[in-house]
Amino acid sequence: MDYKNLCEQVMQIARETGSFIREERKKITTDDVKIKSAASLVTYVDKTAEARIVSALKKLIPYSGFVAEEGTAGSNNEKYTWFVDPLDGTTNFIHGIFPHSVSIGLAEENKLVLGVVYEVGADELFYAWKGSPAFLNGNEIKVATAINPEDTLIGTGFPYYDFDRVEDYISVMKHFMKTTRGLRRFGSAAVDLSYVACGRFDGFYEHALHAWDVAAGVFIVQQAGGKISDFNGGNNWLFGGELVAASSTFYESFYQVIHQHLGRKI
């Protein structure tokens, strides 16, 4: 597999999808918004964008599987599996704010080998492929190097359907409010992870996530030198619904705080 060439083609698909999203934002009305659950929204733009992406990716790797937010296509133990979030940050998109993004990841035999995240508002394309560094618009990127919490900026997300751990989640936020430069909640996990990869965030954590939210961004973080785990320090972050991502210099102290409050008792 020529991963670099494949990544370049996926990058083009992501950019074209981003252009479609940008243009459709000018037309969308409240009548186009559908409610999947209390705070989970979807529009024809999400569904059309996903259908376009899936169609294009099938041409690149026939017989590949898909884990996609809107369920356009499925997976059945194929060698190659795509993880597609056609519009990560739909609520932001509906309200006309950024970031919102296109996120496309690829796994080969259950191991991630490619990630592309296109942030529509800033026209920023983050990407990496197996064996490569991570890039932003053609320039190599790396994770931050801060060690002390007081020098760090943290990204997070708020759960929108699983509220059983809200109090524990707030306790983590209180800790970081007091010990770091602050927290940011931008509303697109794919972008949050990309910001860890390029050093804008020193760490990111969230729960109630899906595989399509994180696959591409996680791979980009890893290729940029960052570390990833679930809240118990394990590898169940792709389908486990929880994730810690940080620079290698900050990861251990960052993880310990999250584990203390949000780690599950075994």
In the chain, domain spans: 3-140, 149-262
Q: Is the pLDDT of residue 34 over 80?
A: yes
Residue 37: pLDDT band with limits 50, 70, 90:
low
| 51 φ/ψ sector (left φ>0, alpha ψ -120 to 50, else beta) | alpha
Percent of the chain with pLDDT over 70: 97
For 195-207, give one letter per residue: b (16+ CB within 10 A) or e. Answer: bbbbbbbbbbbbb
Assigned CATH for 149-262: 3.40.190.80
Task: Check the CA dihedral 204-206-212-215 and report its sign.
Answer: positive
| Residues 156 and 126: beta-carbon distance below 8 Å | no
| 211-to-11, 85, 139, 158, 205 alpha-carbon distances in Å | 19, 9, 27, 17, 14
The whole-number pLDDT of residue 165 equals 82
Q: Is the pLDDT of residue 149 over 90?
A: yes
Q: Is the pLDDT of residue 38 over 70?
A: no
The whole-number pLDDT of residue 265 equals 64
Report pLDDT digits (tens) over 180-212. Answer: 999 999 999 999 999 999 999 999 999 989 999
Q: Is the pLDDT of residue 161 over 80?
A: no
Assigned CATH for 3-140: 3.30.540.10
The whole-number pLDDT of residue 178 equals 97
State the helix-helix crossing angle for 166-179 and 251-262, rounded to 10 degrees. 150
Q: What is the DSSP string of 121-159?
A: TTTEEEEEETTS-EEETTEEE------SGGG--EEE---
Write down the mean pLDDT value for the chain: 94
Lowest mean per-residue pLDDT among 52-66, 168-182, 252-266: 252-266
The whole-number pLDDT of residue 73 equals 82
Name the residue among 199, 174, 204, 203 with its Cα closest to residue 188. 204
Distance between CA atoms of 83 and 155, rounded to whole angstroms? 22
Distance between CA atoms of 43 and 100, rounded to whole angstroms? 14
Percent of the chain with pLDDT over 90: 85
Q: How many CB atoms lie within 10 A of CB 32?
A: 13
The whole-number pLDDT of residue 229 equals 98
Distance between CA atoms of 233 and 262, rounded to whole angstroms? 11
- Residue linked to tokens 């059309």: 48
- Reported as type and span, the H/E element at residue 39 is none
Distance between CA atoms of 242 and 165, rounded to whole angstroms? 12
Report pLDDT digits (tens) over 42-101. Answer: 889 999 999 999 999 999 999 999 999 888 888 888 999 999 999 999 999 999 999 999
Report pLDDT digits (tens) over 222-247. Answer: 999 999 999 999 999 999 999 999 99
